Structures are given as C-alpha cells and as structure tokens.
Structure 1
Amino acid sequence: MIELEGLTKRYGEKVAVNNLTFTVGPGIVTGFLGPNGAGKSTTMRMVLGLDRPTAGDVRIDGRRYDQLKDPLKYIGALLEAKAWHGGRSAYNHLLCLAQSNGIPTTRVREVLDTVGLAAVAKKKTKGFSMGMGQRLGIAAALLGDPRILMFDEPVNGLDPEGIHWIRTLMKSLAAQGRTVFVSSHLMSEMALTADHLVVIGQGRLLADTSMADFIERNSRSYVRIRSPQRERLLDVLHRAGITAVESGNGALEVDGGKAEHIGELAARHQLVLHELSPQQASLEEAFMRLTAESVEYHAHSDAPVPRQQWGDDWKRS
C-alpha cells in the first residue's frame, strides 16, 4: 500500500505538488492521470525518496522509502526507461541490482524470461530499442518480487503485442493481491487496464474514484435513436414527457434516458426503430472535461504554422 498525506513539493515559487492525500491499495490497478506538468512524475519520485517533500509524508507499507531495508523487495518501479549503463548487458545490469539488494541471482533469468529478453540477455543495452528498454525497466521493477509496483508510462515504445503483454501483466499482478500504480497519457489503454483512478491537475487532487464512477460523473450519457417514423416518434416522446433533440443524420438524442424505457414506449406505439443505443463518453472525454481548467500548455489548432526561417535559402539553393 502507498499512502500520501498532505504531500507538497515546491521549487522556489512554483508549487509542483499541492497537499496531495490519497491511498493506493492492493488488489487493483490504480491509474494516475493528469495533464503535462500536473505533478505526476514529481509525486512518483517522492514516493521513491528521489525528491524530498517540502511538506507532508508518503509511506510504503507504513514506512518511508529510506526506512526499507531491502527496498526492491517492497516496491519495484519504472520511472525512466534507460536508467542503466549502456556498456553493460541486460543480464549484468539486473545482476548488479540483485546483488546490491540481496536478491538471488536465479531471479535475474526469471525476470528476463518474463519480459521476453532472454534471447538478448548478453547484449549491451546501448543497442536496445526504446521498446526493449521498457522491457528491461519492467524486469528491474519485478526483480525483487515486490508487493508494490509503480510504472510511469510503461507502454512507451512498445508494439501492439508488447502493449497487450504489459496490460495483461499489470492485471495479473493486481489479481495476485499486489499494489499496482501506473501513470499514462494513453487514455485508451488506461481505460482497459485501470480499475481505480487518481487524477491531479496543477499539483492538486481532482478525483480519487473508480473508473466507472469517474466516467459517469464527468461525462454526458444519452440515448441515440433513429426511426423512419421520426415525427410520430417525437410526438410519442413528447407526450411521455421525454425531451429529444436533433443531432444530425436524422438521429435524435435523449439525455439521461433509459434505452429500455424508450424501446418499450416505441413498441407500444408500433414505431419502427433503426437505432436505439445508449451512449457514454470515453475516459478521454471525461478526463478532458475534468482537467480543462488545469492544463498548463494550450495548443490552438487554428494558429498559423510559423514559416521556417531557412525556407527562402532552400528555394534559392
């Protein structure tokens, strides 16, 4: 379990993390979301003792990271994919970590097999691709067989097979009763992986809730209907006290309605329906709605593209 209590980090006048209090519990995958600059990486670094909090406290199974005798046996983390010496092989990188943390050397081969790097175990890591680097970082996180795992953008550089693998791995680790805390900007993947969400913006806690509750609270749900008997349908809905609005392409939308109720109403009046579908926003849409006022850097799609200064010289060459 990871427990944060009033965790705060200031860099001069800038408050990177502002009084965060939440708990990351075992048995589920907890997603950690926030716009760029929200303070996610700083928070994770403070969990691992890499940054000292200005105020507040963070505990790992009841103790600070610097109080853990064998830290890799308590918490494994992937924060930076290429945090190793490029002249070492994958095997020797993990071997150094194992020997310095009292972990049996047999574990090195086990985690290399787990992440799919056994065939390149003796190759120098400086030649590794980004995806291979991610796998090696995950192997290091798993090395101590820890009860808690923390991943920052674990799918970076992975191909579709690798993304499916890490998703399955995280779910499997949580199913074993471990604490799994993962930060990602890939909303479609987070929606498939996380059970619970912690969302921050400008260093402040915005949400700490289940995935389903987060989407329900921060999105619009409605029922979309299409019928060749559109005018009759509108009349029936109006008499039933149901407000429908046009949405284009001949479709109607009913906010907050139940598809079952509308379907039964149409059946009683012998109305033909070509579509009757409940709609709900995606995790990405719900996230964008909640964090709209917390985004530090705004891009504008209608802004002119700046002219490259070397353009005229290139034309004359």
Structure 2
Amino acid sequence: MIELEGLTKRYGEKVAVNNLTFTVRPGIVTGFLGPNGAGKSTTMRMMLGLDRPTAGDVRIDGKHYDRLKDPLKYIGALLDAKAVHGGRSAFNHLLCLAQSNGIPRQRVHEVLDTVGLSSVAGKKAKGFSLGMGQRLGIAGALLGDPRILMFDEPVNGLDPEGIHWIRTLMKTLAAQGRTVFVSSHLMSEMALTADHLVVIGQGRLLADTSMADFIAHNSRTYVRIRSPQRERLLDVLRGAGITVVESGGATLEVDGTGAERIGELAARHQLVLHELSPQQASLEEAFMQLTAESVEYHAHSDAPAPSQQWGDGQQWGDGWKKG
C-alpha cells in the first residue's frame, strides 16, 4: 500500500504538487492520470525518495522509503527506462541491482525470461531498442518480487504484442494481491487496464474513484435512436414524459431513460427502430472534460504553418522571396 498525506512540493514560487492525499490499495490496478505538467512524475519521485517533499508525508507499507531495508523487495519501479549503464549487459545490469538488495542470482534469469529478454541477456543495453529498454526496466521492477509495483509509461515503445503482455502482467500482479500503480498518457490502454483512477491537475487532486464512476460522473450517457417513423416515435416518447434531443436526420437522443424502456415503448406502439444503442463517453473524453481547466500547455490548431523552404533559396510564405 502507498499512502500520501498532504504531499506538497515547491520549486521556488512554482507549486508542482499541492497537498495531495490519497491511498493506492492492493489487489487492483490504479491508474495515475493528469495533463503534462500536472505533477505526476514529481509525485512518483517523492514516493521513491528521489525528491524530498516540501510538506506532507508518503509511506510505503507504513514506512518511509529511506527506512526500507532491501527496498526492491518492497517496491519495484520503472520511472525511466533509459536509466541504465549502456556499457553493461542486460544480465549484469540486473545482477548489480540484485546484489545490492540481497537478491539471489537465479532471480535475474527468472525476470529476464518473464520479460522475454533471455536471448539478449549478454548484449549491452546501449544497443537496445526503446521497447527492449522498457522490458529491461520492467525486469528491474520485478527483480525483488515486491508487493508494490510502480510503472511510469510502461507501454512506451512496445509493439502490440508487448502492450498486450504488460497489460496482462499488471492485471495478474494485482490479482495476486499486489499494489499496482501505473501512469500513462494512453487513455485507450488505461481504460483496458486500470480498475481505479487517481487524477491530478496543476498538482491538485481532481478525482480518486473507480474507472466506471469516473466516466459516469465526467461525461454524458444517453441512448441514440434511429427510426423511419421519427415523428410518431417523438410523440410516443414525449407522451411518456421522456425528454428527447433531436440531433438531425432520423436520429434522436434520450438522456435519463434506459434503452430497455424505450424499446418496450416502441414495441407497444409497433414502431420500427433501426438503432437503439446506449452511448457512453470514452475515458479520454471524460478525462478531457475533467481536466479542461487544468491544462498548462495548449496547442492551437489555427497557428500558422511553418514556411516551406525551396532548394534554390526561394521561400513560400507570405509571398515569393528570392535568396
């Protein structure tokens, strides 16, 4: 379990993390979301004792990280896959970590096999692709067989098979009763992986809730209906006290009433339906809705495109210019 209480980090006048209080519990995958600059990386670094909080407290299974004996046996983390000595082989990188934490040599072979790197165990890390580096970082996190695991962008650089593998791995670890805390910008992947969400913006806690409740409370849920008997259907629905939004064409939208009741009403009045489908926003849409006021870096679609350079020194911009 990871417990944060009033965690705060300031850099001069800048407040990177502002009074965060939440608990990451075992047995589920907890997703950690926030816009760029929200304070996610700073928060994770403070969890691991890499940054010292300005105020507040964070505990790993009831202890401060710097009080843990053989910390890899308590918590394994992947924060930066590039944080590897490039001149060491994958095996020797992991062996150094193992020896510093009293972990048997055999465990290095086991985690290399788990992440699929056994065949390149003797190769230097500097020759690894981004995806291979991610797998090596995950191997390091698993090395101590810890009860708590923390991953920052774990699918970065992985191919589809690798993404499916890490998703399954995280779910399996959580099912074993471990605490799994994962940060990612890939909303579609987070929606498939996380059971619970912690969302921050500008260093403040915005949400600490289940995936289902997060989407339900931060998005619109409605039923979409299409019928060739649109006007009759409108009369029937309104006669039943159901509010209907006309969205153009033959399509209608209904909030606050289930598809089952609408279908029963249509059947009772012998109305033909071409579509009767519940609609719910994606995690991405719900996230954008919640964090709209917390985004620090905005791109603008109406920004001017860069001018195009031509080989003879001419430039196409506001007009032709001869070099």
The two structures have a TM-score, normalised by structure 2, of: 0.96
Question: What count of residue pairs does the alignment treat as equivalent?
Answer: 317
Q: Which residue of 2 aligns with 1:212?
A: 212
What's the CA shift for 1:218? 0.3
Q: Which residue of 1 aligns with 2:134?
A: 134
Question: 2:197 aligns to what SS in structure 1?
Answer: strand
How far did 1:313 drift?
Answer: 2.5
After superposition, where does 1:20-31 map in structure 2 within 5 Å?
20-31=20-31
Which residue pairs with 2:90 in the alignment? 90
Change (3 A) 1:136 1:249: farther
Say which SS state the counterpart of residue 22 (structure 2) adopts: strand
2:64 paired residue number: 64
Q: What secondary structure, in the 3-state scheme, does the structure 2 residue paired with 1:257 have?
A: coil
1:302 aligns with 2:302: yes
**Once the 2 structures are TM-superposed, how far is the Cα of residue 314 of structure 1 from its aligned partner?**
6.2
Aligned to 1:268: 268
Amino acid at match of 1:201: G
Could you tell me which residue of structure 2 aligns to residue 43 of structure 1?
43
Amino acid of the residue matched to residue 302 of structure 2? Answer: D
State yes or no: 1:161 paired with 2:161.
yes
**CA–CA separation in structure 2 for the residues paired with 1:311 and 1:184:** 42
CA distances 1:85-115 after superposition (whole Å, capped 9, x unpaired): 1010000000000001100000000000000
Match of 1:104 in 2: 104
Task: Report deviation, 1:245.
Answer: 1.6
Greater mean deviation of Cα atoms: 76-85 or 304-313: 304-313
> In the alignment, what sits opposite 1:125?
125
Aligned to 2:178: 178
Distance 1:19 1:308 in 2: 48
Runs of 4+ in 1 over 3 A off after TM superposition: 308-312, 314-317
Is the partner of 2:272 in helix, strand or coil? coil
Q: Deviations over 1:111-148 (max 9, x none)?
A: 00000000000001100000000000000000000000
- 1:174 and 1:69 map into 2 onto residues whose CA distance is 23
Q: 2:318: which partner in 1?
A: none
Structure 1: segments with no counterpart, 5+ residues: none
**CA–CA separation in structure 1 for the residues paired with 2:71 and 2:188:** 32
Distance across 2 between alignment mates of 1:178 and 1:272 = 51
How far is the alpha carbon of 1:310 from its aligned partner? 8.0
1:255 Cα deviation from its structure 2 partner: 1.4
Partner of 1:59, secondary structure, is strand
What's the offset of the Cα at 1:82?
1.1
Report the TM-score, using the length of structure 1 for normalisation. Answer: 0.98
